[in-house]
Structure formats: structure tokens, C-alpha cells
């Protein structure tokens, strides 16, 4: 495949990256960005998996013990691959100068010197949405969660309204709730640290636009404008958010079997039990405070 470096009218392509924990709004940010004629972002690609493979290779002593330069070589090769892969996405919208990669993962510097968007959402809403998502997919993420959640998965597929009728069931499996809460905490704490490092100038040329899901819901137009201005494109050239493009704030009704859920802020409260609160606090309570969603653990 030939990798184009310029738009048909001669402007050089530029890259940006979108990151955030799964079900935090990364797809919504991608859809909002795509409303602009000069921005092109596509669904999640292979960079997350490839970066993990590179990290594993760098940890392999048999590969690096006799060649001290191997980690740097692997980093350089991955950077070139990531750059070429992202540029290859230009074929979907060749006239758009900005090309974005959207990955539901930690914020990390894939290609140095590029703008980054990172979105954070209340972990309790993330776990709610993530649980429904995995139930719909029959826990595609695998074991041990597939076995632990098997009974609830079958009830959900037999009756998609099961949790509307019995909301306390959603967070009744302790190992899953703890793992999901802990995973969210690990991602957002690492992202906050990386945001601070970028803002401190540790990565020359790399810039960051932190986003909050809740603010995007309540101030969609203002946040949409801020995103466009961050890339230096004219906000007035973008189309309006709409249900058709899946860019409106939330959805008027919820089908539990849809990829796109209602997106309501505070939806977790509809399913929370005392056990859920205790498990979440023990695994991710400090992260909720650090991200500003709670002042303390008394919630």
C-alpha cells in the first residue's frame, strides 16, 4: 500500500490521538471530531495490541541481553509503524488534513510531537456501561469473568430487561465489580500522571487536551469547539451534532443490547447496592477523589 503524505491539494497530513478507558466516551469524541470536514478519525485499530507486543518484547531478556540497543530499535520501529498505519487511514477521507487514531486505552506517546485528547468519566458509570457491554458480548474479554458472570449473562440474553426489573443483580458478582473498578482506577491514575508530564513539557511538541465526559454531555457545543480549536481548525465549518451521526448528548431511549447506551450521567445509582459501594471504594475510592468525582469516601 502506498502511504500518502499529503492531501490531494498538497497540504501535509497531521496526526492526533484519542485515548481513555473503555466506555468513557472515546467513540463519542471520535464521532464529534468527524463532524469537521478537515478531520478524519476511524474506529479502533491495532496500535494497542501492537504496543503491548513491543512492550513484551522489550521485557524479554533473551532478546535484549546481548543487544543493549534493542529496546530503542523496537521503539523506533513501532513509532514508524504507528505513523504509517495512522497515515494509511487517509484513504477514508483524503481531503481531511487531520488524521486521528482512536484507542480505548491508556494515554501514551505513540508518535512524538502530536496532539492528544484524553477523556475521563466517572468510574462508577464506566463500570455500569462496561458491564452491560460485556454482558451483550457474552464476556468476550474471557476468563475468569466469563465464568463468574455466566449466570447473569444468560439471564440478560433471555430477557434484556432483566436488570431493569432486578437492578441489584447487575453488581452482585464481587470479583467482577472489584476487577472492573480496579482496572478503571489504574487507567485514570496513569493518565493523570501522563497528562502532568505532557503539560510539564517532558515530551517536546506533544500537546494534550483533557476532556471530561460529564462536561461534554452538559456543554457539548462548547467542548466541541474547544476540541476543534485545539487542532487549529475552524469550529464553524463543522456540522451540527445529531442523533443520525451519534453525536447528540445521550440517546432518547436505551436498548440494553445496543453498543450505544443512553450515556446518562449517574446511571450507576440505579443499580448500586451497599456491597457495590464498599467494593468500589476499596478498589477505586482514591481514584474517584483524585479525579474529582467525590470529595472523600463518604458516598
* Per-residue pLDDT reduced to its tens digit, 126-169: 999 999 999 999 999 999 999 999 999 999 999 999 999 999 99
- Looking at the DSSP bridge assignments, the partners of residue 27 are none
The pLDDT score that the predictor gives to residue 63 is: 81
Cα atoms in the 13 Å half-sphere on the side-chain side of 85? 20
- Gap between the Cα atoms of 223 and 216, Å rounded: 6
* Whole-angstrom distance, CA of residue 190 vs CA of residue 202: 15
- Overall residue count recorded for the chain in this entry: 299
Predicted confidence band at 46 (pLDDT cuts at 50, 70, 90)? Answer: confident
104 three-class SS:
coil
Question: Which has the minimum average pLDDT: 64-68, 105-109, 153-157, 240-244?
Answer: 64-68
How far is 109 from 206, CA to CA, in rounded Å? 8
Summarize pLDDT for 223-272 with one digit per residue, the tens.
Answer: 999 999 999 999 999 999 888 887 876 655 566 655 456 678 999 999 99
pTM of the predicted structure, to 2 decimals: 0.90
Angle between helices 150-158 and 123-136 (to 10 degrees): 70
According to CATH, the superfamily of the domain at 14-290 is P-loop containing nucleotide triphosphate hydrolases (3.40.50.300)
What is the distance between the alpha carbons of residues 27 and 42, in angstroms, rounded to a whole number? 9
Amino acid at each position: 500500500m502506498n502511504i500518502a503524505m499529503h492531501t490531494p491539494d498538497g497540504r501535509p497530513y497531521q496526526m492526533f490521538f484519542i485515548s481513555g478507558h473503555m466506555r468513557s466516551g472515546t467513540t463519542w469524541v471520535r464521532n464529534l471530531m468527524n463532524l469537521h470536514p478537515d478531520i478524519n478519525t476511524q474506529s479502533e485499530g491495532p496500535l494497542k495490541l501492537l504496543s503491548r507486543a513491543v512492550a513484551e518484547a522489550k521485557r524479554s531478556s533473551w532478546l535484549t541481553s546481548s543487544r543493549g540497543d534493542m529496546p530503542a530499535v523496537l521503539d523506533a520501529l513501532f513509532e514508524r509503524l504507528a505513523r504509517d498505519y495512522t497515515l494509511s487511514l487517509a484513504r477514508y477521507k483524503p481531503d481531511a488534513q487531520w488524521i486521528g487514531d482512536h484507542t480505548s486505552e491508556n494515554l501514551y506517546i505513540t508518535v512524538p510531537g502530536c496532539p492528544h485528547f484524553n477523556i475521563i468519566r466517572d468510574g462508577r458509570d464506566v463500570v455500569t456501561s462496561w458491564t452491560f457491554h460485556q454482558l451483550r458480548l457474552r464476556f468476550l474479554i474471557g476468563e475468569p469473568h466469563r465464568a463468574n458472570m455466566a449466570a447473569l449473562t444468560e439471564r440478560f440474553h433471555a430477557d434484556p430487561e432483566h436488570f431493569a426489573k432486578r437492578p441489584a443483580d447487575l453488581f452482585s458478582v464481587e470479583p467482577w465489580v472489584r476487577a472492573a473498578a480496579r482496572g478503571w482506577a489504574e487507567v485514570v491514575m496513569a493518565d493523570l500522571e501522563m497528562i502532568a508530564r505532557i503539560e510539564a513539557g517532558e515530551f517536546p511538541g506533544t500537546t494534550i487536551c483533557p476532556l471530561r465526559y460529564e462536561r461534554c454531555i452538559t456543554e457539548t457545543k462548547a467542548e466541541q469547539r474547544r476540541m476543534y480549536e485545539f487542532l487549529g481548525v475552524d469550529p464553524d465549518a463543522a456540522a451540527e451534532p445529531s442523533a443520525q451521526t451519534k453525536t447528540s448528548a445521550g440517546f432518547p431511549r436505551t436498548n440494553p443490547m445496543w453498543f450505544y447506551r443512553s450515556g446518562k450521567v449517574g446511571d450507576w445509582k440505579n443499580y448500586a447496592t451497599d456491597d457495590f459501594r464498599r467494593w468500589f471504594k476499596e478498589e477505586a475510592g482514591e481514584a474517584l477523589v483524585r479525579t474529582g468525582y467525590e470529595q472523600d469516601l463518604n458516598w
